[in-house]
Amino acid sequence: MNISQDKHIEFYEWQIQVIEEEWKRYANTRMQTLVQENRLFVGRIWGIQESQGNVVLRFKAGSVPRMKQPYILCMVGPDASPTSAEWDFTYLKFRESVKPRLCGLNTDIRTLNYLKTDDEKWSYILVSGFDEAILNQIKKNFLDHKKHPLIVVAETDPPVDYLIALKDYVRRKPEDNTLTLDVDVQENSWSPTLIDNKDETIREILSLIENQDVTVLQGPPGTGKSHLAAEVCDFYTGLGKSVCVTALTNKALIEIAAKNGMLRSLKRGSVFKTNLSSDEAKKFSLLKPVLHFAPREGEILLSTYYKLALNYLMLVEDSKRYDLIIIEEASQAYLATIAMFKSIAAKVLIIGDHKQLTPVVINKDEAKKIHTHIEGVINGLQTFAFNNSSISYRLINTRRLTSEGARLTGLYYENSLKSTSDLENITSFNSSYSHLFHPNGGVSIAKLQSSMIGFTEQNLLKFMSLIGREILSNDKQIEVALLSPYARVESNLYEQYSRLSSDYSRVTINTIHKIQGLTSDLTILYLPLDNPSFDLNDNLFNVATSRAKRGTFIVTYQHIELLRGVTPETLFFLRNCKGVSLDFMEAFRKKM
């Protein structure tokens, strides 16, 4: 079944409208109200972490933005009161003000973690992503004179320009065959060729790219997708070819830039990245900011989907095409994203995994009112791959997961996943809670009674934080992830963990939607089952349970296996985890 051009366009128009309506509600709210509701945060720029290029911000304790999140930081202008309680103007008026000048310079940032302090009145946090030119200006005008400028941290501007660009592409290119693919193809009809990537596979991948215009490469967790992308870039630039690597997030682009395969191109000064921030420039001194989007011989452009989509028309009008485009994080690409980017390159390598995180759509269930199979437009990689089995391939060896981890994660990949982990049978670690984890890097689970006397979720999250901190204290090499599907749980975990430590260097506390690409040694996953179909969504669950090299520990409730709507794969997964409910409750009661 195909979806008409009109339905494609209607979907994007609807999603743009939903996003803009949410944004208008935020923008037209008075600033003093947003501050009171903890939807806008008032602080000061306190300093620069010179070694990393990160910036230190100070806020009142208890009024701090969420960690590991994108925000926009705005300088407070000279005509605004220094007291936020007097800000009776809207955020929109603040941002657009000229006379009086309420808002100054602004930059995108990403919150990182708290800094240790004995000051109970103030919280200090690190942020990355600061525009380098703006940071230099702040340093010169304020910090060098021991002044700390007043700033606000607000929700990011809506990314509608990207969606508008996709909508316009669909309108201009109704003849594009990718847009008219069958959106109702079943997975059991998809049969990708399996690639044994245990040893050297780069030559095989290069041969595929050479012999066909488009290649789809599915990379299950830990199979080395980013390493391969970097090696392909190195080969093509070595031939003097132009390459574009595009991904949804800056984080994914930086991960590729960090691979050994990119080193020669970096040393040649031929790697350019969109939105190059001050901390990225510090860490990768050979990485250059993008000056142009036109393909150049021997150069690599690292671009977000957003930036590349906005420059699509320029490339087309100038008849510019890259020799190779690599679409990374393709599970998060719309069908129109793949269609658009395919059209600006001679060769295309699509890398991703439709069993992991898909594009974020607001009110996704409402989208089905546009078309019952609108998911085919949203989940572009799945639609494209299922229609192109002949050019689809799957890597089958995971270096991250042990055999026990691969056995369960492999349920989502027709049991084709194999382990080449260096930690096979040596996943043990020094902790009084090690018995709660699988002895060989698999998955364990504690199913609790939700009606236990004296039991609260607050106690539970405190205990999970305590387990994580104890593990980190006993082993200075281990990294731990504390995960949940929900932002409210993430915030609570941060609060509980911050009472135990201010060292966040080896711990990740986040929602599952934010951690695709993450690798940890151990994962502690809390599933509160607030919305079971969300908690146990195959893609979300697969991402959460496939991050850890030494083992994943799930904390949830006894009725998890009685829930409706759970797929056979996830149900089998849950039933084959190592059960540690009694051990967990014994440890919990002793400590709490």
At 50, the pLDDT band (50, 70, 90 cuts) reads confident
- The region of weakest confidence among 133-142, 431-440, 472-481 is 133-142
Cβ atoms of 75 and 104 within 8 Å: the answer is: yes
CB-neighbour burial class of residue 186 (10 A; exposed 0-12, middle 13-18, buried 19+): exposed
The answer on pLDDT for 68 being more than 90 is: no
Q: Which amino acid is at 498?
A: S
At 187, the pLDDT band (50, 70, 90 cuts) reads confident
Q: pLDDT of 8-36, one tens digit each?
A: 999 999 999 999 999 999 999 999 999 99
Cβ atoms of 142 and 149 within 8 Å: the answer is: yes
Measuring CA to CA, which residue among 493, 170, 182, 512 is closest to residue 343?
170
- The region of weakest confidence among 120-124, 470-474, 571-575 is 120-124
- The per-residue pLDDT for 565 is 84
What is the C-alpha to C-alpha distance for residues 216 and 310, in angstroms, rounded to an integer? 24
Higher pLDDT, 495 or 211: 211
- The region of weakest confidence among 58-62, 192-196, 401-405 is 58-62
The answer on pLDDT for 451 being more than 80 is: no
The answer on pLDDT for 152 being more than 70 is: yes
Cβ atoms of 556 and 580 within 8 Å: the answer is: no
The answer on pLDDT for 3 being more than 90 is: yes
The pLDDT of 24-50, averaged and rounded, is 95
Cβ atoms of 327 and 348 within 8 Å: the answer is: yes
At 359, the pLDDT band (50, 70, 90 cuts) reads very high
Q: For residue 272, what are the β-bridge partners?
A: 288, 301
Side-chain half-sphere of 236: how many Cα atoms within 13 Å?
Answer: 33
What is the C-alpha to C-alpha distance for residues 433 and 544, in angstroms, rounded to an integer? 20
What is the C-alpha to C-alpha distance for residues 546 and 573, in angstroms, rounded to an integer? 12
CA distances from 307 to 12, 84, 564 (A): 18, 34, 41
- The per-residue pLDDT for 453 is 62
Q: Look up tokens 């799945």; give the residue.
A: 382
- The per-residue pLDDT for 216 is 98
Q: pLDDT of 192-210, one tens digit each?
A: 999 999 888 999 999 999 9
- The per-residue pLDDT for 188 is 83
Backbone angles phi, psi at 84, to 5 degrees: -65, -25
**Which three-class secondary structure string do you get for 401-436?**
CCHHHHHHHHHHHCCCCEECCCCCCCCCCCCCCHHH
The answer on pLDDT for 67 being more than 90 is: no
- The per-residue pLDDT for 392 is 97
Q: Which amino acid is at 148?
A: H
Q: pLDDT of 221-240, one tens digit each?
A: 999 999 999 999 999 999 99
At 454, the pLDDT band (50, 70, 90 cuts) reads low
Higher pLDDT, 120 or 466: 466
Q: pLDDT of 315-334, one tens digit each?
A: 988 888 999 999 999 999 99
- Determine how many CB atoms are found less than 10 A away from the CB of residue 116: 10
Long-range contacts formed by 140-145: CB under 8 A, 24+ apart:
142/45, 143/45, 143/47, 143/48
Higher pLDDT, 283 or 461: 461
Q: pLDDT of 79-116, one tens digit each?
A: 999 999 999 999 999 999 988 999 998 999 989 888 87
- The region of weakest confidence among 42-46, 227-231, 316-320, 475-479 is 316-320
Q: pLDDT of 116-151, one tens digit each?
A: 777 889 989 999 988 888 988 999 999 999 999 999
**350 conformational bin, left if phi > 0, alpha if psi -120 to 50, beta if neither:** beta
The pLDDT of 42-69, averaged and rounded, is 90
What is the pLDDT of the chain when averaged over all its residues?
Answer: 93
At 291, the pLDDT band (50, 70, 90 cuts) reads confident
Higher pLDDT, 395 or 488: 395
The answer on pLDDT for 592 being more than 90 is: no
What is the C-alpha to C-alpha distance for residues 337 and 342, in angstroms, rounded to an integer? 8
Q: Is the overall model pTM greater than 0.85, yes or no? A: yes
The pLDDT of 274-279, averaged and rounded, is 84
Q: pLDDT of 545-566, one tens digit each?
A: 999 999 999 999 999 988 888 9
User: Which range among 289-293, 388-392, 486-490, 517-521 has the greatest average pLDDT?
Assistant: 388-392
The pLDDT of 292-297, averaged and rounded, is 93
Cβ atoms of 101 and 125 within 8 Å: the answer is: no
- The per-residue pLDDT for 517 is 83
